[in-house]
């Protein structure tokens, strides 16, 4: 099995199942059935990074996705540790380096966008009610033209 795509695919199938464990390159190479060097070369060829860097990046993406659907009872510490990040200062630095914002900024921005969408839906529903009321008035006038009152 010397096809780099196949090697990376097998490793990529293994990693999500062990996302919170911080899997070592030796473990990945053993599962895939290639040497560590072959594994590293395949990842560099396919992704331009080592298997460890790829794993960390995938875990960061998973954390970001979790933070975007952050519940009120969740904490950043719990979410980070679920994805194998136990050194929170290092995690926050990596997160900011990759996404350009801190984990808490991600939460704050997502909550702000959700609130804006919710406000927008209330405005639309109010507008819809206003339009419906105007249609009702217009229908009433069409059915009874003598009901038109002109302000003088």
State the DSSP code for 48. Answer: S
Structure tokens belonging to residue 22: 């911080």
Which segments of the chain does DSSP mark as H helices, in order?
Answer: 4-14, 25-32, 36-47, 51-68, 76-82, 88-99, 103-143
The pLDDT tens digits of the residues spanning 23-74 come to 899 999 999 999 999 999 999 999 999 999 999 999 999 999 999 887 776 8
State how far the alpha carbon of 88 is from the alpha carbons of 52, 69, 83, in Å. Answer: 18, 20, 12
Alpha-carbon separation of residue 44 from 54, 81, 88, 134 (angstroms): 10, 27, 28, 64
**Tens digits of per-residue pLDDT, 104-152?**
999 888 877 666 666 665 544 445 555 555 555 445 545 554 444 444 3
Could you report the per-residue pLDDT of 92-115, keeping only the tens digit for each? 999 999 999 999 999 888 877 666
Q: In this predicted structure, what is the pLDDT of residue 59?
A: 94
CA distance 34 to 55: 17
């Amino acid at each position: 099995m010397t096809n780099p795509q196949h090697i990376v695919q097998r490793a990529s199938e293994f990693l999500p199942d062990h996302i919170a464990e911080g899997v070592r390159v030796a473990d990945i190479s053993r599962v895939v059935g290639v040497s560590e060097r072959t594994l590293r070369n395949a990842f560099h060829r396919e992704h331009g990074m080592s298997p460890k860097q790829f794993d960390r990046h995938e875990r960061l993406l998973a954390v970001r996705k979790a933070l975007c659907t952050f519940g009120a009872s969740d904490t950043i510490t719990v979410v980070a540790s679920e994805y194998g990040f136990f050194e929170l200062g290092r995690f926050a630095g990596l997160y900011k380096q990759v996404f350009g914002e801190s984990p808490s900024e991600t939460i704050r921005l997502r909550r702000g966008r959700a609130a804006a969408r919710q406000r927008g839906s209330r405005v639309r529903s109010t507008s819809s009610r206003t339009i419906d009321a105007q249609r009702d008035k217009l229908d009433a006038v069409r059915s009874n033209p003598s009901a038109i009152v002109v302000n003088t």
